[in-house]
Amino acid sequence: MTFDAFGRLLDGRFETLPARRAAEGHAMKILVVGSGGREHALGWKLAHSPLCKALYFAPGNAGTTAVGTNIAVKADDVGALVAFASREAIDLVVIGPEKPLVDGLADKLRAVGIPTVGPSAAAAQLEGSKAFAKSIMVAAGVPTAKAATFTELAAALAYIDGRAEESSVVKADGLAAGKGVFVCATKAEARAALTDILDHNAFGSAGAVVVIEDFLEGEEASFIALCHDEHVLPLASSQDHKRVGDGDTGPNTGGMGAYSPAPVLTKALEAEVVETVMKPVLKAMKARGTPFTGILYAGLMVTANGPMVLEFNCRMGDPETQPLMARLKSDLVEVFHELATGRLTRTELDWDPRVAVNIVIASAGYPDTPKLGFPITGFKAAAATGALVFHAGTALKGGAIVNTGGRCLGVTALGDGFAEAIAHAYAGAEKLHFEGSFYRHDIGHRALGR
């Protein structure tokens, strides 16, 4: 095993890359947009391909410097990103987060001839507006919770009062960084959430519209596919852990851990999701003149009546990407380039049959007000366990790596079966320390319980 200057593990295969690149005629310069664990994991996987000759992150984090070059451009600075990609003759851009997609980054890159993984702004409305997504699902006959859309508080409150059920789910329409959804057990909670969103403008323009939907009972899973036009290439299934605390308690977060595969999504259910969700939605998007090309993520509730869609995202999940990349065996540069150039025809990818588990290490105070700026130790010891440490909110400061965000590290490990993968991931996570750091101790409990 070898380590870089900051004590991070460099995969043995990575050392042989220059030789493999040299033997390859058409290696590419690739730009990954974003700075999270998702982007580190994507970049790590892209860097393993002999088709990758240079890798840039905008802006990246402390971990991405081990696999590529960070550039000082923010992920939502559309103009500067297009300028950089043009100037550096980038061959492929992979857009990690949703905001630049909704803001039209993919359109602008394609307009200057740069192959890009990510949907147009029009197609990204599947994530950018929950009301739009709902209208597409209803039109396409996709199984989803019954819902109504409101812009006026009085009408929304009257709808809640008129419902037979006490429970409901209140959602701000626009992008809210995972904070705009309220699962309400009572009508009083729903009234409070609606008043916050519509009257107190808790989410600004993202809350100008609200969607109120029926509460669905079941187990959640993520189904992610690379989609072009009407073609669907499913990734392996995965499952996130949204709540901050053990036993799924406390507030929602960006995600505290993930694993792949998700046993709740059987092969038969996956095939059902392709037919009843992905294909009808792609067809509807094409029919309205806004075909979807990119990564389509269906957040599912697997109910007694089968899988139903909670929401769509138009990009990879974070942290689901981390275990998925640990398991992916196919060449990701090849697959992404096919997607970005409209040549995607394959119907499956190669996966490591083992289970991958990712544990997120977060900063004290997350998800509300994380305490930042503390040096992180233990990278060498964590790497020595064989775990992969993907960085998220980290930066280099005076020779040390410090925490700069709510979610800082994603410790990812493989194992034969859930018990082993979970044990490996925690063995790595235990080695990493900074003031106030914490993680959930029950990642994978649902899969273990099966």
Ligand X SMILES: Nc1ncnc2c1ncn2[C@@H]1O[C@H](COP(=O)(O)OP(=O)(O)O)[C@@H](O)[C@H]1O
- Contact stretch for ligand X (CB under 6 A) within 23-31, 174-182, 396-404, 420-428: 174-182
Amino acid at 16: T
Nearer to ligand X, 20 or 242 (CB): 242
With CB cut-offs between 5 and 8 Å by kind, which of Mg ion, ligand X, none does residue 183 bind?
A: ligand X
Nearer to ligand X, 175 or 408 (CB): 175
| Gap between the Cα atoms of 444 and 239, Å rounded | 9
Amino acid at 427: A
- If one asks whether residue 215 binds ligand X (CB under 6 A), the answer comes out as yes
Nearer to Mg ion, 107 or 311 (CB): 311
| Gap between the Cα atoms of 273 and 79, Å rounded | 37
- If one asks whether residue 220 binds ligand X (CB under 6 A), the answer comes out as yes
Q: Per-residue x/- marks for ligand X, 376-415, CB under 6 A?
A: ----------------------------------------
What is the dihedral angle through the alpha carbons of 153, 158, 161, 167, rounded to the nearest 10 degrees? -50
Instruction: Give min distance, CB of 94 to ligand X, in A.
Output: 21
Instruction: Give min distance, CB of 129 to ligand X, in A.
Output: 11
Nearer to ligand X, 313 or 385 (CB): 313
Quick one: which of 169, 170, 198, 432 contacts ligand X (CB under 6 A)? Answer: 169
With CB cut-offs between 5 and 8 Å by kind, which of ligand X, Mg ion, none does residue 215 bind?
A: ligand X
Nearer to ligand X, 168 or 322 (CB): 168
| Gap between the Cα atoms of 255 and 435, Å rounded | 21
With CB cut-offs between 5 and 8 Å by kind, which of ligand X, Mg ion, none does residue 74 bind?
A: none
Nearer to Mg ion, 77 or 311 (CB): 311
Size of the site for ligand X (CB under 6 A): 16
| Gap between the Cα atoms of 177 and 182, Å rounded | 13
- Contact stretch for ligand X (CB under 6 A) within 15-23, 177-185, 323-331, 440-448: 177-185
| Gap between the Cα atoms of 239 and 259, Å rounded | 6
Q: Per-residue x/- marks for ligand X, 294-313, CB under 6 A?
A: -----x-x--------xx--
Quick one: which of 17, 28, 41, 145 contacts ligand X (CB under 6 A)? Answer: 145
Answer yes or no: are the C-beta atoms of 437 and 408 closer than 8 Å.
Answer: yes
Nearer to ligand X, 3 or 215 (CB): 215
Nearer to ligand X, 248 or 272 (CB): 248
Quick one: which of 136, 184, 216, 244 contacts ligand X (CB under 6 A)? Answer: 216
- If one asks whether residue 299 binds Mg ion (CB under 5 A), the answer comes out as yes
Is the bond leading into 375 cis (omega within 30 degrees of zero)? no
Quick one: which of 137, 181, 256, 376 contacts ligand X (CB under 6 A)? Answer: 181
With CB cut-offs between 5 and 8 Å by kind, which of Mg ion, ligand X, none does residue 220 bind?
A: ligand X
Quick one: which of 39, 77, 98, 213 contacts ligand X (CB under 6 A)? Answer: 213
Name which of residues 93 to 132 contact ligand X (CB under 6 A).
Answer: none
- Contact stretch for ligand X (CB under 6 A) within 69-77, 83-91, 176-184, 424-432: 176-184
Tell me which residues touch ligand X (CB under 6 A): 145, 169, 171, 178, 180-181, 183, 213, 215-216, 220, 242, 299, 301, 310-311
Q: Which residues bind Mg ion (CB under 5 A)?
A: 299, 311
